[in-house]
Amino acid sequence: MKRFILFWVVLLLLPVASFSETPEEKGLAIAMEADLRDNGFGDFTSQLKMVLRNRQGESSTRVIRNQTLEVEGDGDKSLIIFDNPRDVKGTAFLSFTHKVKNDDQWLFLPALKRVKRISSSNKSGSFMGSEFAYEDITSQEVEKYTYRWLRDEAYEGQSTFVIERDPVDPKSGYTRQVVWIDQAEYRPLKIEYYDRKNDRLKTLIYHGYQQYLGKFWRADRMEMVNHQTGKGTVLNWKDYKFKTGLTDRNFNKNSLKRVR
């Protein structure tokens, strides 16, 4: 709800402030518009093939399924189920993301039938050995960053806003991120991540956006390159299904134990 109030407040102030809008206000307004356009998806499921590559060109593939539930007034709930490599088959990861406080996370270990709580400070840690950190793949809430509009720029033939966003949480692995957002649909096209020393660490590029239910845009492919290690990870998404009827009941410790 807070998100909406904040949005209306900003909207009401807009006519007055439009001449003197600071880069910070403009950056925030862009982030809120992007967030608003993805509002109301309810829930979705998808399949993900993740390909890890090292500098020598060797690769390794992970196959996972994802279920996400939109939560009104808070971060999304999501359940991730591992199918491949075969030794981790049946392992499942449940997270309740929050706008401001730390996310709640649990991991189900099928061999022991054990649900293990994961400490909430792993956001800068690698997700399954990939170049994606947990904080890169969990729900991107507006409140998790402060914003600054940098410039408008043409990127790959599209007009974009280039904004900088700085993580609010000091436990984040980044000092800042630079995001290219297309002006037509408010979708991220490219993100550059800067590490704690403010050196450029990674670049993420979104490919093949598709629109679902006439509203929600999802990329088919996301390519992350780590400039410091030369390693890369490609996420290939498929089988997006929206409004599948998932509820809170699908996102608890019991459902974590029975998903396959």
Partner 1 sequence: MRLPPLIRFMPLLILCSFGVFMPEAMANELTGYVAIEGRLFFDDSLHTGQREQQSSIIAKPEYFHEWKESILTVAPFFRLDSADSKRSHVDIREFFVLWYPEAFELGIGIRKVFWGVTESQHLVDIINQTDLVELPDGEEKLGQPMVNLSLLRDWGTLDLYLLPYFRERTFPSLKGRLRSSLVVETDRTRYESGAKQHHLDVAARYSQTFGDWDVGLSYFQGTGREPTLIPGADASGNPVLIPFYEQIGQTGLELQWVVEEWLWKLEMIHRVGQGDSFEAWTGGFEYTFTALFGSKMDLGVIGEWLHDTRGEAAPTPFEEDIMVGFRLGVNDMASTELLFGVIQDLERSDRILSLEASRRITDHWKIEIEAFIFARQSPNELLFSQRDDDFLQASLFYHF
d(CA 177, CA 195): 9
Number of residues that bind partner 1 (CB under 8 A): 39
Q: Which stretch binds partner 1 (CB under 8 A): 5-13, 28-36, 55-63, 136-144?
A: 55-63
**Rg (the chain; Cα; Å):** 19
Write the single-letter amino acid at 140.
Q
Q: Using the minimum distance from each CB to partner 1, give the nearer residue, 84 or 211.
A: 84
In whole angstroms, give the CA distance from residue 156 to residue 211: 19
Q: Is 81 in the site for partner 1 (CB under 8 A)?
A: no
Q: Which of 1, 112, 154, 184 binds partner 1 (CB under 8 A)?
A: 112
**Sign, CA torsion 165/72/245/259:** positive
Distance CA 65, CA 70 (A): 17
Task: Give the separation between CA 39 and CA 20, rounded to whole angstroms.
Answer: 28
Is there binding between residue 56 and partner 1 (CB under 8 A)? no
CA distance linking residue 12 with residue 202, whole number of Å: 37
CA atoms within 13 A on the CB side of 58: 2
| Segment 60 to 79, residues that bind partner 1, using CB under 8 A | 60-61
**Binding mask of the shown chain, residues 120 to 139, with x at each position contacting partner 1 by CB under 8 A:** xxxxxxx-xx----------
Residues 196-255 that bind partner 1 (CB under 8 A): 249, 252-254
- CB nearer partner 1, residue 102 or residue 203: 102
Residue 16 contacts residue 10 (beta carbons within 8 Å)? no
Smallest distance from the beta carbon of 83 to partner 1, in angstroms? Answer: 10
Give yes or no for residue 55 binding partner 1 (CB under 8 A).
Answer: no
Does 6 bind partner 1 (CB under 8 A)? Our answer is no
Among 173, 188, 189, 204, binds partner 1 (CB under 8 A): 173
Under 8 Å CB-to-CB from 152, ≥6 apart: which residues? 159, 160, 161, 162, 183
Interface with partner 1 (CB under 8 A): 52, 54, 58-61, 84-90, 102, 104, 112-115, 117, 119-126, 128-129, 171, 173, 195, 249, 252-254, 258, 260
